[in-house]
Amino acid sequence: MTGSTRRSERRGTLGTNEVVEVRPGAYHDSVTLMRAGRRLAERPGVSAALTAMATTLNVDLLAEMGFTPPPGARPDDLLVAIRADDEAALESARATVDELLATRTAPRAFGAPPPPRTTGSAARRIDATVALISVPGPYVFAEAMDALEAGLNPMIFSDNVPVEHELALKETAARRGLLVMGPDCGTAVIGGVGLGFANVVRPGRIGLVAASGTGAQQVMSLLDEAGAGISHVLGVGGRDLSAEISGRSTLQALRALDADPATDLIVVVSKPPAPEVGDLIRSAARRLATPVRLGLLGEGGGDLTAVAEDALNTVGAPLPEWPSWTPAARAHPPRRGRIRGLFAGGTLCEEASIVAGSTPHEMTDLGDDRYTRGRAHPMIDPTLRLERLAAETARDANAVVLIDVVLGHGADPDPAAALVPLIRDARVPVVVSLCGTSGDPQGRDRQAWALAGAGAAVFASNAAAARHAAALAEGS
């Protein structure tokens, strides 16, 4: 029933704590009405109640119950009559009539309804807080708008989302007090639940805001290794700190983590933002009660390991020695040349490039839009990278091949299995940056030993892996 219907249709006669309403044309079946009447009568303070169609029989029944039958009621009118001990009980009973008549449960007897076909439809079936969207980029917008309209925070895993779509989504989210994570957001951890690609980290007091998925995975894995825990990781998407998007999600995420009692320190993990956006973030961070550290890759020579170390220093935690696993015997004598990097993680690729510095290198991010159009991300489908790895480890032009292996939820259940034979057959040294935690389903140490056993040098710190590769390429 619409509000206006109610206004115009109800004729109430208020006696001493009783009411008889007539609602013309509001048909309900008799079982629904009897149930509603019984539920009303069971309410504390209600002494009598009837909800029924105004048939002659029911009008007589109403009179027998001591109510004054309304004049002119017709059989297709709905009668609602309530008598209560006091006015409060009467009013509260009245207020539940619509709810009682409207109560529907999901149909059980005749099978489940067909699966939802839109995010909006799914959102009506579950009381969710997040919509994880990984449909092709051009189609993301409508699904994400559905999520926002239903009060859900979209996490957009997809890339190839037009920037104007991103802007419109983030403006809508701001109006609704929600957060758009993404687009191109690979990682989030919320209350211990990993969304997208996420490592299993111990719970703790450090919250991350990350414009980079693998950047966040590297930092959270290192913090976990050091014994510091994570409250939440909120992804914001790789373009969020661009001049066009102007940090809309970063600002929203900072406010949310500031308000979160579980978070004592916020670390922003990002590539250097557009200058004016950097100023915006810094000034917003200063206004928060929770301390904020900006972990900006490449700014002032910082790498992700340095970001993790800075966070550990800030909370007063001791710095561990970052684990590495080196092969028992060196299969390949060192020889000067270039580093050939084949990465699944874009930020890990970029970091390796920064760390390699003047050492000759060619780093390829196989998760880049160029390689993922029409195919899955290399963390989901490793085929392309395995082909490249086989080719590059056979080329004399490469002094060393550097790869990343990212563990955690969503990633390959046993990435080492496919890599081991290629590493074993490699004609050049292979260095692996292994991003993961001991809690990850793949088991970081198990993966590390398998890779090292095949002859690779394995590092938990991506920066350390890149430095090791650089040293090999310099002939040491």
Of the pair 209, 473, the CB lying nearest another protein is at 209
Q: How far is the CB of 378 from another protein (least distance, A)?
A: 13
27 near another protein, rule: CB under 8 A? yes
Under 8 Å between Cβ of 437 and 225:
yes
Q: Which stretch binds another protein (CB under 8 A): 86-94, 194-202, 340-348, 427-435?
A: 194-202
Closest CA to 463 of 389, 310, 353, 320: 353
Which range binds another protein by CB under 8 A, 39-47, 147-155, 287-295, 316-324?
147-155
Q: Is 419 in the site for another protein (CB under 8 A)?
A: no
Query: Which residues 323-362 are close enough to bind another protein by CB under 8 A?
Result: none
Of 16, 42, 71, 111, the residue at the interface with another protein (CB under 8 A) is 111
CA distance 399 to 24: 86
State which of residues 81, 147, 201, 223 lies at the interface with another protein (CB under 8 A). Answer: 147
CB of 145: closest distance to another protein in angstroms? 5
Sequence-ordered strand ranges (E) for 134-182: 153-156
Which listed residue (10, 202, 205, 255) binds another protein by CB under 8 A?
255
Nearer to another protein, 88 or 126 (CB): 126
Q: Does residue 227 bind another protein (CB under 8 A)?
A: no
Contact between 15 and another protein by CB under 8 A: the answer reads no
Residues numbered 150-169 forming contacts with another protein, rule: CB under 8 A: 150-153, 157-158, 162, 165, 168
Exposure class string for 124-157: b at 16+ Cβ within 10 A, else e: eeeeeebbbbbbebeebbebbbbbbebebbbbbb
Burial class, 42, CB count within 10 angstroms (exposed 0-12 / middle 13-18 / buried 19+): exposed
Give the C-alpha separation, 356 to 332, whole Å.
20
Toward another protein, which CB reaches closer, 14 or 163?
Answer: 163
Q: Which of residues 380-399 bind another protein (CB under 8 A)?
A: 380
- Does position 136 interact with another protein (CB under 8 A)? The reply is yes
Task: Write the binding mask 284 to 323 for another protein: x where contact by CB under 8 A, - elsewhere.
Answer: ----------------------------------------
Cβ distance to another protein smaller for residue 195 or 355: 195
DSSP characters over 328-362: SS--S-----EEEEEESSHHHHHHHHHHHTTS-EE
Binding to another protein by CB under 8 A, coded x per residue (else -) over 42-81, reads: ----------------------------------x-----
Contact 40, 82 (CB under 8 A): yes
Long-range contacts (CB closer than 8 Å, 24 or more residues apart) made by 21-25: 21/79, 21/80, 21/81, 22/54, 22/70, 22/73, 22/77, 22/78, 22/79, 23/77, 23/78, 23/79, 23/80, 24/74, 24/76, 24/77, 24/78, 25/76, 25/77
Distance (Å, whole) CA 437 – CA 406: 10
Figure out which of the listed residues 82, 131, 254, 267 binds another protein, where binding follows CB under 8 A.
131
Which one of the spans 12-20, 37-45, 129-137, 452-460 is the region binding another protein (CB under 8 A)? 129-137
Considering beta carbons, is residue 125 or 336 the nearer one to another protein? 125
Is it true that the peptide bond before 70 is cis, omega within 30 degrees of 0? no
Residue bearing tokens 């919250």: 207
Instruction: Rule CB under 8 A: choose which of 41, 48, 61, 128 binds another protein.
Output: 128
216 close to 187: Cβ distance less than 8 angstroms: yes
Does residue number 10 form part of the binding site for another protein (CB under 8 A)? no
DSSP E strand stretches across 182-242? 187-190, 193-196, 203-210, 230-235
118 contributes a contact to another protein by CB under 8 A? yes
Please pick, from the candidates 141, 322, 325, 343, the single residue that binds another protein as defined by CB under 8 A: 141
